[in-house]
Amino acid sequence: MTFELFPAIDLRGGNVVRLRQGDYADETQYSDNPAVVARGFQDAGARWIHVVDLEAARDGGSPNLAAIEAICSAAPLCDVQTGGGVRSFADAESRFALGVARVIVGSAAVEHPEVVAEIAAARPGRVVVGLDVRGREVSTHGWTKGAGCDVGAMLQAFDGAGVGACVVTQINVDGLLTGADIGLYVELLAATAIPLVASGGVGSLDDLEALRTIKVNGRGLVGAIAGKAIYEGRFTTAQGVAACSRPE
Between the alpha carbon of residue 149 and those of residues 6, 111, 138, 145, 152, the distances in Å are 27, 11, 6, 12, 9
Residue 238 CA to chain centroid, in angstroms? 19
Long-range contacts, 103-107 (Cβ 8 Å, 24+): 103/127, 103/128, 104/52, 104/128, 104/129, 104/130, 104/167, 105/129, 105/130, 106/57, 106/130, 106/131, 106/132, 106/140, 107/57, 107/140, 107/141
Those residues with Cβ within 8 angstroms of residue 123's Cβ, 6 or more apart along the chain or in another chain:
92, 96
Between the alpha carbon of residue 2 and those of residues 70, 95, 213, 243, the distances in Å are 28, 26, 11, 12
Number of H helices, E strands in the chain: 11, 12
CA distance 163 to 161: 6
Instruction: Supply the residues annotated as catalytic.
Output: 10, 132
